[in-house]
């Protein structure tokens, strides 16, 4: 059985000496297992919508600097940030084969139906690869944010995935669906004593040990295919164990004070996205994590705009002028929210007093281009942590169907994640670099 009772005397001494200043966001990093580096860490944020954008009014036709070629109607809300964004054309997720498959392979690049002998098989998402290297000493390995649509997500363009994130066995990671859930995760301190917490963690570990023992005996009687499934299951068990170990490690370090009151239930659409963004900013400032993904609501956003159509129905806008207009308004709303997130990143201060924005890499996109088109996905990039990226331009890649995995690989390398390949990548995207 793993020993979850860690030596916490150093942390307790720190708490006794300075508990009155723990509300200052940056001191939680100081209280981690390793001393805070002189320079603030790099962070990666992956934002995803569904069903793409309106073909004729969102995508620029020319390459060049936005200050010279201008912004399209759909991109116009980013005017104040036009020198700090990059748009990439001719990226295709080579693993995606089903327009109705949603976002399940957006961050993985896997052909989920293409593994012989398996009806569905995904792989690890790039945010989780990044988290393994960037978030080793943070309270949370990553934040996987999602949204609970009223129809279960079937019409949102995301498919049935729980979030955009998948673990190293290709299993979906559950998403945090409600602002109140994220608020409590980030800011609510448990009332349990350390002894009670240790007891609770040990009970969880004991259950996992029993599962492992029973499974080990069972494995000898199974077919090869079933043994593979059981191995995947045990990998999931190990992920739970890692979470328990991390929970124990941080048990003596109080969470930061909340910057605003606990939100109520029932927030949806634009309100929900705004609040999720604000709490994500706080999580990055306090170094609670350095990696996040956000599978954003689509149908509830439309409903809040007064659009009665589901996102899937709206994507079939064809020659219907009312539907085309609704699609264009949806584009502007989504990009306005993205512009707001960039505003907040630029306003927030980091450990050294610099802008939080300068230490982040932010990708915003969708799993489809327009309607049900799988090729040439929209990819918007911002943040100052990718020092080599040429911002302020629309870049048309010379090769059509450049693997989307090349884009993810480029961003991870810019975040100093030590990887040389990812999914179906064939290399980095040199045209992104200055």
DSSP 308-350: -S-HHHHH--TT-HHHHHHHHHHHHHHHHHHHHHHHHHHHSB-
* pLDDT band (50, 70, 90) for residue 202: low
354 neighbors 374 (Cβ within 8 angstroms):
no
pLDDT digits (tens, 9 = 90+) for 259-308: 999 999 888 899 999 999 999 999 999 999 999 999 999 899 999 999 99
The residues near 100 (Cβ < 8 Å, ≥ 6 apart) are 159, 372
In 65-193, where does DSSP find H-type helix?
Answer: 66-69, 126-134, 179-187
Q: Is the pLDDT of residue 36 over 50?
A: no
Is 213's pLDDT higher than 90?
A: no
- Which two structure tokens, joined as six digits, stand for 239? 């992920």
Domain ranges of the chain: 28-188+266-432, 190-253
Q: pLDDT tens, 215-233?
A: 555 656 667 556 655 655 5
- In CATH, which of 3.90.45.10, 3.30.360.10, 3.30.420.40, 3.40.720.10 is domain 28-188+266-432? 3.40.720.10
Alpha-carbon distance of 395 to 61, in angstroms, equals 10
Per residue in 158-170, pLDDT (tens digit) is: 766 679 999 988 8
- What DSSP letter does each residue of 209-230 carry, written as one string? HHHHHHHHHHHTTS-HHHHHHH
- Residue 368 near residue 377 (C-beta atoms within 8 A): yes
**pLDDT > 90 fraction of the chain, expressed in percent and rounded:** 59
Give every CB contact of residue 8 below 8 A, 6+ residues apart in sequence. 194, 251, 252
User: What are 110's two structure tokens?
Assistant: 């896997």
CA distances to 109, 111, 119, 193, 341 from 115, in Å: 13, 8, 8, 48, 38
The lowest-confidence range among 1-10, 12-21, 247-256 is 12-21
pLDDT at position 217: 57
Q: Once rounded to an integer, what is the mean pLDDT over residues 68-96? A: 97
* pTM of full prediction above 0.75: yes
pLDDT, tens digit, 9 for 90 and up, residues 342-359: 999 999 999 889 999 999
């Amino acid at each position: 059985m793993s020993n979850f009772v860690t030596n916490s005397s150093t942390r307790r001494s720190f708490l006794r000496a300075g508990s009155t200043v723990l509300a200052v966001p940056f001191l939680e990093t100081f209280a981690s297992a390793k001393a805070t580096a002189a320079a603030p860490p790099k962070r990666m944020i992956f934002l995803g919508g569904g069903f793409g954008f309106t073909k004729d009014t969102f995508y620029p036709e020319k390459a060049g600097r936005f200050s010279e070629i201008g912004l399209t109607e759909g991109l116009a809300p980013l005017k104040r940030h036009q020198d700090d964004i990059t748009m990439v054309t001719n990226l295709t997720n080579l693993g995606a084969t089903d327009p109705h498959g949603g976002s399940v392979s957006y961050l993985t690049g896997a052909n989920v139906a293409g593994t012989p002998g398996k009806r569905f098989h995904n792989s690890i998402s790039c945010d989780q690869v990044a988290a393994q290297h960037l978030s080793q000493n943070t309270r949370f390995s990553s934040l996987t944010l999602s949204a609970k649509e009223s129809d279960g997500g079937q019409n949102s363009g995301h498919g049935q995935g729980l979030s955009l994130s998948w673990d190293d066995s290709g299993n979906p990671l559950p998403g945090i669906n409600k602002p109140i859930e994220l608020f409590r995760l980030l800011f609510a301190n448990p009332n349990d004593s350390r002894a009670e917490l240790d007891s609770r963690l040990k009970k969880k570990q004991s259950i996992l040990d029993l599962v492992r023992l029973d499974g080990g005996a069972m494995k000898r009687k199974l077919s090869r295919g079933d043994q593979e499934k059981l191995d995947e299951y045990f990998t999931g068990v190990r992920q739970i164990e890692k979470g328990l170990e991390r929970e124990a490690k941080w048990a003596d370090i109080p969470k930061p004070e909340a910057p605003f009151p606990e939100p109520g239930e029932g927030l949806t659409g634009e309100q929900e996205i705004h609040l999720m963004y604000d709490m994500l900013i706080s999580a990055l400032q306090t170094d609670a994590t350095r990696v996040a993904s956000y599978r954003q609501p689509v149908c509830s956003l439309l409903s809040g705009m007064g659009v009665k159509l589901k996102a899937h129905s709206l994507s079939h806008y064809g020659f219907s002028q009312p539907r085309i207009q609704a699609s264009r308004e949806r584009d502007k709303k989504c990009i306005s929210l993205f512009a707001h997130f960039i505003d907040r990143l630029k306003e927030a201060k980091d450990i050294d007093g610099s802008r939080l924005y300068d230490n982040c890499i932010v990708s915003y996109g969708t799993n489809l281009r327009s309607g049900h088109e799988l090729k040439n996905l929209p990819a918007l990039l911002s943040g100052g942590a990718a020092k080599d990226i040429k911002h302020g331009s629309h870049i048309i890649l010379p090769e059509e169907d450049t693997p989307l995995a090349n884009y993810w690989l480029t961003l991870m390398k810019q975040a100093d994640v030590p990887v040389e390949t990812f999914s179906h990548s064939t290399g980095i995207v040199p045209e992104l670099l200055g």
